[in-house]
Structure 1
Amino acid sequence: MIEEFKKRIKTLPPLPKSFHRVLQICESDSGVGELAKAIEGDPMMVAQILKTANSPLYGFNRQIKTVLQAVSLFGKNMTKSLVASSTVQGMLKVSVEPYSVSPEQFVNISNLQGAIAKAWFKRIAPEKMDDMFLCALLQDTGKILISDEVIRRDEVMYFKEDIAMSFDIGAVEMNNFGTTSVLIAADIFDHWGFEKGIVENIRHSNDPKNAPDELKQTAWALYIIRVLANQKQQLSDLNVQTALNLAAENGFNEQILKEVVEEIKEKGV
């Protein structure tokens, strides 16, 4: 099954020109006005950027009505990550019924994971914040391909039952397919030419205990973020306590993560 997923990934079409144009602008000296114009040429990007800007996750104190407003508030790096997430979801045609969530819920969970990563790494390692925000937004992408395979096999009911009975979604994926959505996501972004650091951060978060020393912090962080907010539960008492325990066991300041979670909960998420 692993080879079948790899073959399918190789057949994925290249990312659209609009994405590469946004990426080019973000990496240049161009201003946010030019970036906003590039985004405005893609209705899906516009919808995603404005929806995210008006989410309680980011706590802007006024309604954001234009792409220029949103881009000015987010900045280039965060905008680039949001555009990447929107483009990927559009390319893969989000359908995650086997995980018992709607496409909208799937996007919201990805945004919640991104918000946790951003707030957490802003405090503990600001130099890694932008990369971690992008990794957290994208790390569940492989669930789209797994969902498609479950639907193709007509095994949605059985897969849902497996998910419902297990705390570890990755273990269910591994038992059914010999791989996980996290590993599939890493392969997808490797195929699309994303930066090696992004690919490897996601890949090693599948098994952070065995991650290289230089990636252990980010691998464990992504794993902990998935514990906090996943397709089964988001920020439940059990999930939060499990995440805090994992943080303490793996060298993180437990209190900082606890404060981040409490702040996000206060925003009404």
Structure 2
Amino acid sequence: MTTAILEKIESLPPLPKTIIEIEEFRKKSEKEISELVEIIEKDALIISTLLKISNSAMFGFRSKVETPSRAIGLLGINFTISIAIGGSVQNLLMVNLDPYGINSDDFMKASNLSSTLVSLWVSKINFELRDELLLPALLQETGKFILADVILTQGKADEFKEKIANGETIANAEKELLGVTTSEITAKIFKHWKLSDHLTNLIENVDNISKCDESIKSKVQILDVIKTACNISNPLSEQSVQEAISKAKSYGLDTKPLAKAIETLQDRLLDE
């Protein structure tokens, strides 16, 4: 890992106090909605993000969601935590994502689609697993903010885009130009912020599943399928979906609930 990348990670601002409180709340075995509402109401950015996402077509709620407590009641505690942490992390890292051909709104949309797809798909497999994978699915592309900055600083944007245009996967293009991939950098960022080791370990291996510990491999494979379907450049496109289903088959996953979840999400997006 280059000095430039490490320096950018080391110079990141600390997590806001609200996020530290939410992370502590997340670790509790017994969670009360009232306590989470109390924490979230201290942070205007989180409230704004939560209400915006709650009222998006992704969820299809019939009436407008106007308060944090109603949003939490509809989304559930774990989904709300994921949105709160995800929105704050992305706000801290906001940089030009032009090397990836997207802007920060595109990034946030793809991230939120990822966590929604986890909710729709993985809840059909195992509800506890759904809760475990919501946050890593939402956050696993975070490292792209650092890598985009490095690509631009080093004047490699055109070379990077050319590799992608010629059919290279994003992960391979990152590895060739920078020596690292998004999942590795995301893990480094979260270690720097002292987020949970389990979250870090799940994300760290998504771009290199062959080296993944067997105890978490099936979870990392699901994250890879989610990342593929919700590709930041073209989430839920026909190509992205086909690649995701192909990967799911190769991992021995049941593709029927995955295909159904994707179809449901695509239908909701048509209503936007």
TM-score interval (norm. to shorter): over 0.9
Identity of counterpart residues, as a percentage? Answer: 29
2:218 and 2:143 mapped to 1: Cα distance?
Answer: 22
SS in 2 for 1:214: coil
2:10 — aligned with what? 10
SS in 1 for 2:61: coil
1:23 — aligned with what? 23
State the shift of 1:264 in Å.
1.0
1:245 and 1:156 mapped to 2: Cα distance?
Answer: 30
- Aligned pairs, number: 269
What is the TM-score of this pair, normalised by structure 1?
A: 0.92
Please tell me whether the aligned partners of residues 123 and 130 of structure 2 are also in contact (alpha carbons under 8 angstroms).
yes
1:163 and 1:117 mapped to 2: Cα distance?
Answer: 26
State the shift of 1:262 in Å.
1.0
2:71 — aligned with what? 70
More off after superposition, 188-197 vs 102-111: 188-197
SS in 1 for 2:123: helix
Query: Is there any run of 5+ residues in structure 1 with no aligned partner, and where?
Result: none
SS in 2 for 1:124: coil
Change (3 A) 1:44 1:258: same
1:48 — aligned with what? 49
Give the letter aligned to residue 5 of structure 2: F
2:62 — aligned with what? 61
More off after superposition, 156-165 vs 234-243: 156-165
Give the letter aligned to residue 11 of structure 1: S
Decide which structure has greater helix share. 1
Please tell me whether the aligned partners of residues 4 and 150 of structure 2 are also in contact (alpha carbons under 8 angstroms).
no
Please tell me whether the aligned partners of residues 187 and 204 of structure 2 are also in contact (alpha carbons under 8 angstroms).
yes
Please tell me whether the aligned partners of residues 54 and 63 of structure 1 are also in contact (alpha carbons under 8 angstroms).
yes
Query: Does 2:229 align with 1:224?
Result: no
2:103 — aligned with what? 102
SS in 1 for 2:15: coil
Please tell me whether the aligned partners of residues 26 and 35 of structure 1 are also in contact (alpha carbons under 8 angstroms).
no
1:59 and 1:44 mapped to 2: Cα distance?
Answer: 22
More off after superposition, 1-10 vs 63-72: 1-10
State the shift of 1:22 in Å.
2.9
Change (3 A) 1:226 1:27: closer
Please tell me whether the aligned partners of residues 100 and 231 of structure 1 are also in contact (alpha carbons under 8 angstroms).
no
1:171 and 1:14 mapped to 2: Cα distance?
Answer: 30
What is the TM-score of this pair, normalised by structure 2?
A: 0.91
Give the letter aligned to residue 217 of structure 2: K
TM alignment of 1:104-123, pairs within 5 A = 104-123=105-124
Change (3 A) 1:59 1:216: same
Give the letter aligned to residue 265 of structure 1: Q
1:209 — aligned with what? 210
1:36-94 C-alpha deviation (Å, 9 max, x unpaired): 23223222111111111111112212111122211222222221111110111121124
1:24 and 1:241 mapped to 2: Cα distance?
Answer: 38
Give the letter aligned to residue 265 of structure 2: I
Query: Is there any run of 5+ residues in structure 2 with no aligned partner, and where?
Result: none
Runs of 4 or more, structure 1, over 6 Å off, are none
2:90 — aligned with what? 89
